[in-house]
A and B are shown apart, each in its own frame.
Chain A
Amino acid sequence: MKKLIIALSAIAAAVGFTTSAQADISVSGSSNVAYVSTSGADSNGDEELMVGNTVDFAMSTTTSGGIGISASMGLSQDYDTNGQTTSSSVPSGVTGGNAVTFTTGGATIVVGDVEISDTIGAIGGVVNGPLDDGSDLSSSAASGFTDDDGLGAELTTAMGAASLNISYVSNDGADNFGIVNSSASGADSAMSASITMPMGAYSFTIGVADSDTGESSSGFTASGAIGGGTATIGYSNQTLLASHASLTAAGDSDVYGATYVMSMDADTTISVGYQNKKDADSESSTQTDLSIERAMGGGATVYLDIRNLSGDTASNADGSAIAFGTSVAF
């Protein structure tokens, strides 16, 4: 990335685009190539090749009063989408640009498209994006609000060693432009609050969320160093509506999860994850993950991911999937 910044600065200086502002524009990117073999998708399973690239342009400046202001936009060809899509009102491949972040010494405030924390405690997934997105393994047990993001603001602040996060979505029917006090159907508000506190060798996070739609959730995670790695356990209870895509009856979903991440050496990480969830339709599933990553130097990594999903799923959406891939960060 530094090389790119220097190159961009040199080009700007050469053509006379000089400025005295204390601003910075940085460019970063990454590439992914993965082979996925999964029992999902159809009765015979699938073997997939997934290739994607992402570029991000981050802009930031600092005022004379010390307030940092930043925003970013990116271009992305997702590894789980074939070719560019044009179905959205957003130009294909463009990501971000919907929020601006203000930073002071003790707090970060994001204004624009924010997401509330409605699934705190619902942990257990440790595999990388290609397998997570492309395995076609999918539980029928419902979790997560029907809509958890929209136009609003988010505050993260420090209270000594503890951190507090409050997210507020005033209109979940809009992202970066919309009415903040809309009474239109489907334009609901939602809010979440969570706090993370270190306690000795452990760290605890508790959080609650509530939406005007009638959905609510609460959960916790606890983490600590055990046996040379970091273990995390979590629990999330979510009250969801019958209109949820995976539900026929309104009620509570319970999600239990655990992860364990351990460094084998300076470049190798092994992670295991477990998640069990059950919803108001009495549908349940159990997901088990294993991921081994090895940094190769120069920004490249190779990884091996394995996921098994059992329980209530759609047709041909359970079983095992394995991915072998590489990612390169620029």
Chain B
Amino acid sequence: MIKTILLFLLVFFLQSCGPFKGDIEKNLEEMDKIHGKCNNPYREFTRAQKKICEDKERAAGPDGKVDDPINLTKLIENYRNFREGNFSTSYGGGMSINRNLWGASLILLEQYPLDIVDAQGGFISTDWIIERESPNQRCLIKINITSEELVSSGVKVRLICEQKELDVWYQDGVTYAQEEKNLILKILEIADVLSTTEKLS
């Protein structure tokens, strides 16, 4: 018994005096990425806490965020309007941005998971995009529609990329001006098609 107490006291002593220095929370978070928070062997949970933790982890999904509840009625309505090209109805009446630029931005980003979609403010941000070939690099695209008119200056695009080093993500500090310009041109091209189609119908 005395040996056990001495062992714990020794560990405490070493822990506070140098070689054991470290940030336990940071280390635990790194282990969470491997085992999942609820199955991290270094985290203590009661039976009830473990169950709730697992349910919360599932509810958050891979991106770690619990999204708003899905409104099936709105989902079906939006899909129907989008299919019929009725963007003003689909994304909210009274929007103060150009609906063709908005629709073109959504079409451009349709293959990526979206993190923020603010139809009123005209702002879209994708979630982090990671290509299978480059697991240590991730990028996100932010699009801001600033005009009610279909003009080239009515859309702004930012491309932000991060690089992973030793399991920590850092901004790569690269300016992607040409790529951003290409994305703007693509949005304008799609918006023009949408606008033409709208006029013909």
Q: Which residues of A contact B (CB under 8 A)?
A: 28-32, 52, 54-56, 58, 72-76, 95-99, 101, 105-108, 110, 114, 117, 120, 128-129, 153-166, 168, 170, 180-181, 194, 196, 198, 200-201, 203, 205, 223, 225, 227-228, 230, 232, 261, 263-269, 293-301, 303, 327-329
Contact = CB atoms under 8 A, between A and B. Distances in A.
B119 interface: no
B139 to A, nearest CB: 15
Contact of B67 (A75, A157, A297): A297
Interface string B39-77: 001101011110110111011111101111110000000
B56 A30 contact: yes
Nearest to A226: B135
Say which size band chain B's interface belongs to: 35 or more
Contacts of B151: none
B171 interface: no
B31 interface: yes
Contacts of A97: 46
Contacts of B135: 225, 228
Interface of B: 1, 4, 7-8, 11-12, 15-16, 19-24, 26-28, 30-31, 33-36, 41-42, 44, 46-49, 51-52, 54-56, 58-63, 65-70, 113, 115, 127, 130, 132, 135, 166-167
Contact of B68 (A203, A230, A297): A297
Contacts of B44: 99, 101, 108, 110, 114, 154
B113 A266 contact: yes
B27 A162 contact: yes
B63 A267 contact: yes
A268 B67 CA distance: 13
A74 B69 CA distance: 26
Given A157-B24, A300-B69, A29 B58 contact: no
Contacts of B69: 296-298, 300
A108 B135 CA distance: 33
A266 B127 contact: yes
A158 B20 contact: yes
Given A73-B46, A266-B65, A301-B58, 17 more contacts: A76-B47, A106-B21, A120-B41, A153-B8, A159-B19, A159-B22, A160-B22, A161-B27, A168-B8, A196-B27, A228-B132, A232-B35, A263-B63, A266-B115, A298-B66, A299-B55, A299-B56
A170 B19 CA distance: 28
Nearest to A303: B58
Contacts, number: 206
Contact of B27 (A32, A163, A296): A163
B52 A56 contact: yes
Contacts of A158: 20-24, 26-27
B22 A56 contact: no
Contact of B42 (A28, A29, A32, A156): A156
A157 B42 CA distance: 9
Contacts of A114: 44
With most chain A CB atoms within 10 A of its CB, the pick from B34, B47, B60 is B34
A28 B51 CA distance: 11
A179 to B, nearest CB: 11
Given A106-B15, A162-B22, A269-B62, A170 B27 contact: no
B70 A297 contact: yes
B132 A56 contact: no
Contacts of B48: 54-56, 72, 74-76, 95-96
B41 A165 contact: yes
B63 A161 contact: no
A105 B24 contact: yes
B20 to A, nearest CB: 5
A181 B7 CA distance: 16
B47 A106 contact: no
7 nearest A-B pairs in the assembled complex, by CB-CB distance: A158-B22, A74-B48, A298-B69, A96-B46, A295-B61, A263-B62, A297-B67
Contacts of B11: 155, 157, 166
Contact of B1 (A128, A159, A180, A303): A180
A95 B47 contact: yes
Given A56-B49, A160-B21, A267 B61 contact: yes
